[in-house]
Protein backbone atom coordinates (compact mmCIF):
# COMPACT_ATOMS: atom_id res chain seq x y z
CA UNK A 1 0.00 0.00 0.00
CA UNK A 2 1.46 3.37 -0.98
CA UNK A 3 1.53 6.18 1.57
CA UNK A 4 2.03 9.65 0.11
CA UNK A 5 3.20 8.08 -3.16
CA UNK A 6 5.83 5.97 -1.37
CA UNK A 7 5.42 2.22 -1.02
CA UNK A 8 5.35 1.34 2.66
CA UNK A 9 8.05 -1.20 3.64
CA UNK A 10 6.74 -4.62 4.58
CA UNK A 11 7.22 -5.73 8.17
CA UNK A 12 9.25 -8.93 8.49
CA UNK A 13 9.64 -10.49 11.94
CA UNK A 14 12.38 -13.10 12.32
CA UNK A 15 12.26 -15.25 15.46
CA UNK A 16 15.61 -16.84 16.28
CA UNK A 17 19.07 -15.33 15.92
CA UNK A 18 21.17 -18.30 14.92
CA UNK A 19 22.83 -18.78 11.53
CA UNK A 20 19.56 -18.98 9.56
CA UNK A 21 17.81 -16.15 11.37
CA UNK A 22 20.85 -13.90 11.38
CA UNK A 23 21.54 -14.29 7.66
CA UNK A 24 17.97 -13.70 6.54
CA UNK A 25 17.64 -10.64 8.78
CA UNK A 26 20.94 -9.29 7.38
CA UNK A 27 19.80 -9.96 3.80
CA UNK A 28 16.42 -8.26 4.18
CA UNK A 29 17.25 -5.31 6.46
CA UNK A 30 17.75 -2.84 3.62
CA UNK A 31 14.64 -3.99 1.73
CA UNK A 32 12.02 -4.21 4.46
CA UNK A 33 11.25 -3.30 8.05
CA UNK A 34 13.02 -6.16 9.86
CA UNK A 35 12.61 -7.07 13.51
CA UNK A 36 14.81 -9.85 14.93
CA UNK A 37 13.58 -11.47 18.15
CA UNK A 38 16.19 -13.57 19.92
CA UNK A 39 16.67 -14.73 23.50
CA UNK A 40 20.28 -13.51 23.47
CA UNK A 41 22.10 -10.41 22.26
CA UNK A 42 24.48 -12.26 19.96
CA UNK A 43 24.71 -14.79 17.15
CA UNK A 44 26.83 -17.83 17.96
CA UNK A 45 28.55 -19.87 15.26
CA UNK A 46 27.51 -23.22 16.75
CA UNK A 47 30.00 -25.56 15.09
CA UNK A 48 32.86 -23.55 16.62
CA UNK A 49 31.76 -24.10 20.23
CA UNK A 50 34.08 -27.02 20.87
CA UNK A 51 37.20 -25.20 19.68
CA UNK A 52 36.21 -22.33 21.97
CA UNK A 53 36.17 -24.71 24.95
CA UNK A 54 39.82 -25.55 24.25
CA UNK A 55 40.84 -22.07 23.12
CA UNK A 56 38.53 -19.48 24.73
CA UNK A 57 39.97 -16.59 22.70
CA UNK A 58 38.62 -18.28 19.55
CA UNK A 59 35.11 -17.34 20.73
CA UNK A 60 35.92 -13.64 20.29
CA UNK A 61 35.28 -14.19 16.57
CA UNK A 62 32.43 -16.70 16.88
CA UNK A 63 30.15 -14.73 19.23
CA UNK A 64 28.85 -11.78 17.23
CA UNK A 65 26.50 -9.17 18.68
CA UNK A 66 23.41 -8.82 16.50
CA UNK A 67 23.95 -5.06 16.49
CA UNK A 68 27.26 -5.53 14.61
CA UNK A 69 25.71 -6.90 11.43
CA UNK A 70 22.13 -5.63 11.76
CA UNK A 71 22.61 -1.90 11.33
CA UNK A 72 19.16 -1.24 9.85
CA UNK A 73 16.93 -3.59 11.84
CA UNK A 74 15.15 -3.64 15.20
CA UNK A 75 16.71 -6.12 17.63
CA UNK A 76 14.59 -7.45 20.49
CA UNK A 77 16.37 -9.48 23.18
CA UNK A 78 13.53 -11.56 24.57
CA UNK A 79 11.87 -14.97 24.30
CA UNK A 80 9.04 -15.31 21.81
CA UNK A 81 6.07 -16.91 23.60
CA UNK A 82 3.26 -16.99 21.07
CA UNK A 83 2.29 -16.19 17.49
CA UNK A 84 -1.08 -15.17 16.12
CA UNK A 85 -2.08 -14.54 12.52
CA UNK A 86 -0.47 -11.11 12.54
CA UNK A 87 1.59 -10.73 15.73
CA UNK A 88 4.44 -12.29 17.72
CA UNK A 89 4.30 -11.98 21.49
CA UNK A 90 7.32 -11.99 23.80
CA UNK A 91 7.72 -12.89 27.45
CA UNK A 92 8.29 -9.27 28.45
CA UNK A 93 4.77 -8.41 27.30
CA UNK A 94 5.56 -6.85 23.95
CA UNK A 95 3.67 -7.53 20.71
CA UNK A 96 5.23 -7.24 17.26
CA UNK A 97 3.04 -7.03 14.15
CA UNK A 98 4.22 -8.63 10.92
CA UNK A 99 3.33 -8.89 7.28
CA UNK A 100 5.68 -11.87 7.02
CA UNK A 101 7.05 -14.12 9.76
CA UNK A 102 10.16 -16.30 9.60
CA UNK A 103 10.62 -18.91 12.33
CA UNK A 104 14.28 -19.83 12.81
CA UNK A 105 14.54 -20.97 16.42
CA UNK A 106 16.48 -24.15 15.60
CA UNK A 107 17.59 -26.33 18.50
CA UNK A 108 17.89 -25.27 22.12
CA UNK A 109 21.17 -23.41 22.58
CA UNK A 110 23.05 -21.40 25.16
CA UNK A 111 21.00 -19.81 27.94
CA UNK A 112 23.53 -16.99 28.34
CA UNK A 113 21.82 -13.75 27.28
CA UNK A 114 24.94 -11.58 27.21
CA UNK A 115 28.00 -12.14 25.03
CA UNK A 116 30.28 -11.42 27.98
CA UNK A 117 28.68 -14.23 30.02
CA UNK A 118 29.00 -16.68 27.14
CA UNK A 119 32.69 -15.84 26.78
CA UNK A 120 33.14 -16.43 30.50
CA UNK A 121 31.37 -19.79 30.18
CA UNK A 122 33.92 -20.91 27.56
CA UNK A 123 36.72 -19.80 29.90
CA UNK A 124 35.20 -21.88 32.71
CA UNK A 125 34.99 -24.96 30.45
CA UNK A 126 38.64 -24.47 29.47
CA UNK A 127 39.71 -24.21 33.12
CA UNK A 128 37.73 -27.34 33.95
CA UNK A 129 39.40 -29.31 31.16
CA UNK A 130 42.83 -27.95 32.02
CA UNK A 131 42.46 -28.89 35.71
CA UNK A 132 41.22 -32.44 35.01
CA UNK A 133 43.36 -35.51 34.44
CA UNK A 134 40.43 -37.59 33.20
CA UNK A 135 37.36 -36.47 31.25
CA UNK A 136 34.13 -38.30 30.43
CA UNK A 137 32.19 -37.34 27.30
CA UNK A 138 28.62 -38.61 27.16
CA UNK A 139 27.50 -38.97 23.56
CA UNK A 140 29.40 -40.07 20.47
CA UNK A 141 27.69 -37.97 17.85
CA UNK A 142 29.51 -35.14 16.04
CA UNK A 143 29.64 -32.93 19.16
CA UNK A 144 31.10 -35.61 21.40
CA UNK A 145 33.58 -36.79 18.78
CA UNK A 146 34.76 -33.27 17.95
CA UNK A 147 35.20 -32.40 21.63
CA UNK A 148 37.18 -35.59 22.21
CA UNK A 149 39.34 -34.76 19.19
CA UNK A 150 39.99 -31.21 20.38
CA UNK A 151 41.04 -32.41 23.85
CA UNK A 152 43.13 -35.31 22.53
CA UNK A 153 45.12 -33.01 20.24
CA UNK A 154 45.59 -30.03 22.58
CA UNK A 155 45.87 -32.02 25.82
CA UNK A 156 47.31 -35.42 24.84
CA UNK A 157 48.13 -36.21 28.48
CA UNK A 158 44.43 -36.23 29.45
CA UNK A 159 42.55 -39.50 29.75
CA UNK A 160 39.38 -39.14 27.65
CA UNK A 161 36.46 -41.59 27.59
CA UNK A 162 33.42 -41.47 25.29
CA UNK A 163 30.26 -43.38 26.20
CA UNK A 164 27.82 -43.71 23.31
CA UNK A 165 24.48 -45.53 23.25
CA UNK A 166 24.67 -46.47 19.57
CA UNK A 167 26.56 -49.34 17.90
CA UNK A 168 28.97 -46.90 16.20
CA UNK A 169 30.11 -43.31 16.47
CA UNK A 170 28.58 -40.44 14.42
CA UNK A 171 25.84 -42.66 13.07
CA UNK A 172 24.45 -40.01 10.74
CA UNK A 173 27.36 -40.59 8.37
CA UNK A 174 28.39 -43.83 6.68
CA UNK A 175 29.99 -46.86 8.41
CA UNK A 176 33.35 -46.30 6.70
CA UNK A 177 33.70 -42.75 8.00
CA UNK A 178 32.51 -43.89 11.41
CA UNK A 179 35.08 -46.70 11.53
CA UNK A 180 37.94 -44.40 10.50
CA UNK A 181 36.91 -41.92 13.19
CA UNK A 182 36.83 -44.69 15.80
CA UNK A 183 40.32 -45.83 14.83
CA UNK A 184 41.66 -42.27 14.92
CA UNK A 185 40.34 -41.77 18.46
CA UNK A 186 41.78 -45.08 19.65
CA UNK A 187 45.14 -44.08 18.19
CA UNK A 188 44.90 -40.87 20.22
CA UNK A 189 44.33 -43.04 23.33
CA UNK A 190 40.66 -42.07 23.68
CA UNK A 191 38.61 -44.89 25.24
CA UNK A 192 35.34 -45.52 23.39
CA UNK A 193 32.49 -47.45 25.03
CA UNK A 194 29.63 -48.27 22.64
CA UNK A 195 26.05 -49.43 23.22
CA UNK A 196 25.99 -48.12 26.76
CA UNK A 197 24.59 -45.05 28.47
CA UNK A 198 25.25 -43.07 31.63
CA UNK A 199 22.34 -42.15 33.88
CA UNK A 200 22.33 -38.37 33.59
CA UNK A 201 20.09 -38.01 36.66
CA UNK A 202 22.64 -39.65 38.96
CA UNK A 203 25.57 -37.50 37.85
CA UNK A 204 27.08 -34.99 40.24
CA UNK A 205 30.13 -32.96 39.21
CA UNK A 206 33.17 -33.84 41.27
CA UNK A 207 31.80 -37.22 42.36
CA UNK A 208 34.44 -38.95 40.29
CA UNK A 209 32.58 -42.22 39.60
CA UNK A 210 30.10 -42.71 36.77
CA UNK A 211 28.18 -45.93 36.24
CA UNK A 212 27.18 -47.13 32.76
CA UNK A 213 24.02 -49.03 31.86
CA UNK A 214 26.07 -52.25 31.92
CA UNK A 215 27.31 -51.53 35.42
CA UNK A 216 30.79 -50.46 34.37
CA UNK A 217 32.44 -47.84 36.58
CA UNK A 218 34.18 -44.94 34.90
CA UNK A 219 36.44 -42.70 36.93
CA UNK A 220 36.67 -39.12 35.69
CA UNK A 221 37.41 -35.71 37.18
CA UNK A 222 34.72 -34.02 35.08
CA UNK A 223 32.16 -34.74 32.38
CA UNK A 224 30.50 -33.10 29.39
CA UNK A 225 27.07 -34.09 28.08
CA UNK A 226 27.09 -34.08 24.27
CA UNK A 227 23.75 -35.61 23.37
CA UNK A 228 21.24 -34.18 20.91
CA UNK A 229 19.29 -31.09 21.94
CA UNK A 230 15.54 -30.73 21.43
CA UNK A 231 14.06 -28.56 18.72
CA UNK A 232 13.22 -25.12 20.12
CA UNK A 233 9.53 -25.16 19.23
CA UNK A 234 7.82 -25.45 22.63
CA UNK A 235 6.76 -21.80 22.36
CA UNK A 236 4.57 -22.79 19.40
CA UNK A 237 2.62 -25.53 21.18
CA UNK A 238 -0.31 -23.26 22.06
CA UNK A 239 -0.06 -21.00 19.03
CA UNK A 240 -1.76 -20.93 15.62
CA UNK A 241 1.12 -23.12 14.40
CA UNK A 242 0.53 -26.02 16.81
CA UNK A 243 -1.07 -28.09 14.03
CA UNK A 244 1.93 -27.35 11.80
CA UNK A 245 4.36 -29.23 14.06
CA UNK A 246 5.25 -32.85 13.34
CA UNK A 247 5.78 -35.49 16.05
CA UNK A 248 9.36 -34.35 16.55
CA UNK A 249 8.32 -30.74 17.08
CA UNK A 250 9.52 -29.54 13.68
CA UNK A 251 7.55 -27.19 11.46
CA UNK A 252 6.20 -28.82 8.32
CA UNK A 253 7.10 -26.76 5.26
CA UNK A 254 6.36 -26.86 1.53
CA UNK A 255 8.85 -26.67 -1.35
CA UNK A 256 9.12 -22.88 -0.90
CA UNK A 257 9.97 -23.36 2.81
CA UNK A 258 6.65 -21.80 3.70
CA UNK A 259 4.82 -23.38 6.65
CA UNK A 260 2.20 -25.63 5.11
CA UNK A 261 -1.19 -23.95 4.99
CA UNK A 262 0.21 -20.48 5.73
CA UNK A 263 0.67 -17.77 3.13
CA UNK A 264 2.90 -15.41 5.07
CA UNK A 265 4.84 -17.63 7.50
CA UNK A 266 8.11 -19.35 6.61
CA UNK A 267 10.46 -21.61 8.56
CA UNK A 268 14.20 -22.08 8.02
CA UNK A 269 17.07 -24.00 9.54
CA UNK A 270 16.94 -26.88 12.00
CA UNK A 271 13.30 -26.32 12.97
CA UNK A 272 12.04 -27.45 9.55
CA UNK A 273 10.96 -31.00 8.71
CA UNK A 274 13.05 -31.04 5.51
CA UNK A 275 14.66 -34.47 5.21
CA UNK A 276 18.38 -33.61 5.21
CA UNK A 277 21.29 -33.31 7.62
CA UNK A 278 20.84 -30.26 9.85
CA UNK A 279 23.99 -28.22 9.32
CA UNK A 280 25.15 -24.63 9.13
CA UNK A 281 25.61 -24.41 5.37
CA UNK A 282 22.11 -25.87 4.93
CA UNK A 283 20.65 -23.22 7.25
CA UNK A 284 22.37 -20.56 5.15
CA UNK A 285 20.83 -22.00 1.96
CA UNK A 286 17.38 -21.90 3.60
CA UNK A 287 17.86 -18.27 4.63
CA UNK A 288 18.97 -17.05 1.22
CA UNK A 289 16.18 -18.88 -0.61
CA UNK A 290 13.45 -17.55 1.70
CA UNK A 291 14.94 -14.05 1.46
CA UNK A 292 14.52 -14.27 -2.33
CA UNK A 293 10.97 -15.58 -1.99
CA UNK A 294 9.99 -12.83 0.43
CA UNK A 295 11.35 -10.18 -1.92
CA UNK A 296 9.33 -11.73 -4.77
CA UNK A 297 6.16 -11.71 -2.66
CA UNK A 298 6.76 -8.11 -1.59
CA UNK A 299 6.90 -7.16 -5.27
CA UNK A 300 3.58 -8.88 -5.86
CA UNK A 301 4.88 -11.99 -7.65
CA UNK A 302 2.52 -14.99 -7.85
CA UNK A 303 3.30 -18.18 -5.96
CA UNK A 304 4.36 -19.96 -9.15
CA UNK A 305 7.32 -17.57 -9.41
CA UNK A 306 8.70 -18.56 -5.98
CA UNK A 307 11.95 -20.50 -5.82
CA UNK A 308 11.70 -24.10 -4.71
CA UNK A 309 14.08 -25.81 -2.31
CA UNK A 310 15.89 -29.04 -3.10
CA UNK A 311 17.13 -30.89 0.01
CA UNK A 312 20.91 -31.00 0.26
CA UNK A 313 22.73 -34.28 -0.37
CA UNK A 314 24.33 -35.97 2.66
CA UNK A 315 27.50 -33.90 2.94
CA UNK A 316 29.08 -33.85 6.38
CA UNK A 317 32.39 -32.87 7.95
CA UNK A 318 33.51 -33.71 11.46
CA UNK A 319 36.70 -32.09 12.74
CA UNK A 320 39.31 -34.21 14.47
CA UNK A 321 41.46 -31.69 16.27
CA UNK A 322 43.08 -28.74 14.51
CA UNK A 323 44.45 -30.39 11.38
CA UNK A 324 42.40 -33.48 10.51
CA UNK A 325 38.76 -34.28 9.77
CA UNK A 326 36.45 -36.88 8.31
CA UNK A 327 34.23 -35.82 5.43
CA UNK A 328 31.38 -37.61 3.72
CA UNK A 329 30.39 -36.60 0.20
CA UNK A 330 27.92 -38.22 -2.20
CA UNK A 331 30.91 -39.64 -4.12
CA UNK A 332 32.68 -41.09 -1.09
CA UNK A 333 34.55 -40.51 2.15
CA UNK A 334 37.68 -38.43 2.75
CA UNK A 335 39.73 -38.68 5.91
CA UNK A 336 42.74 -36.92 7.37
CA UNK A 337 44.62 -33.80 6.29
CA UNK A 338 42.70 -32.91 3.11
CA UNK A 339 39.26 -32.44 4.72
CA UNK A 340 41.10 -31.01 7.72
CA UNK A 341 42.48 -28.22 5.51
CA UNK A 342 38.92 -27.47 4.38
CA UNK A 343 37.33 -27.25 7.82
CA UNK A 344 39.45 -27.83 10.90
CA UNK A 345 41.85 -24.88 10.91
CA UNK A 346 39.31 -22.05 10.97
CA UNK A 347 36.03 -24.03 11.11
CA UNK A 348 34.52 -21.78 8.40
CA UNK A 349 34.39 -18.91 10.92
CA UNK A 350 35.98 -16.39 8.56
CA UNK A 351 33.60 -17.36 5.76
CA UNK A 352 30.56 -17.04 8.03
CA UNK A 353 31.66 -13.63 9.29
CA UNK A 354 32.04 -12.45 5.68
CA UNK A 355 28.50 -13.67 4.91
CA UNK A 356 27.32 -11.39 7.71
CA UNK A 357 29.23 -8.48 6.18
CA UNK A 358 32.01 -8.54 8.78
CA UNK A 359 35.78 -8.85 8.51
CA UNK A 360 36.87 -12.48 8.77
CA UNK A 361 39.63 -11.88 11.29
CA UNK A 362 38.34 -8.95 13.30
CA UNK A 363 37.27 -9.72 16.85
CA UNK A 364 33.82 -8.59 18.00
Provide the CA 298 distance to its chain's centre, in angstroms.
29
Strand pairing report for 74-77 and 33-38: parallel
Contact in structure between 82 and 15 (CB atoms under 8 Å):
no
Average pLDDT score over residue span 121-134: 97
The edge-to-edge listing of strands for the beta sheet with 87-90 is 80-83, 87-90, 95-97
Query: Is residue 105 predicted with pLDDT exceeding 60?
Result: yes
Query: Is residue 73 predicted with pLDDT exceeding 80?
Result: yes
> Which class for 36: exposed (0-12), middle (13-18), buried (19 or more C-beta within 10 A)?
buried
pTM for the model: 0.92
Query: Is residue 254 predicted with pLDDT exceeding 60?
Result: yes
- Using DSSP's 3-state secondary structure scheme, residue 193 falls into strand
Return the higher-pLDDT residue of 162 and 208. 162
Q: What is the pLDDT of residues 176-192, one digit of tens each?
A: 889 999 999 999 999 99
Rounded distance between C-alpha atoms, residue 66 and residue 38, angstroms: 9
pLDDT for residue 207: 66
Amino acid sequence: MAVGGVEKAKRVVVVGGGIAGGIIAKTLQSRSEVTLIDSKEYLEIPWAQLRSMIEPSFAERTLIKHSEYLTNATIITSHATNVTNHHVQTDDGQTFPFDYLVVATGHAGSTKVNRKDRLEHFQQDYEKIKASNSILIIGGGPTGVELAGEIAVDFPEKKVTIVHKGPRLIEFIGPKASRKTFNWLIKKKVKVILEQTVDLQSISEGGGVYVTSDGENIYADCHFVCVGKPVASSWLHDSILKQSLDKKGRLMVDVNLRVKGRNNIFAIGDITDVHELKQGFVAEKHALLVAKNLQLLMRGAPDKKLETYTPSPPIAMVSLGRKEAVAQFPFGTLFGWVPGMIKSKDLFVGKTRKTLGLKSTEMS
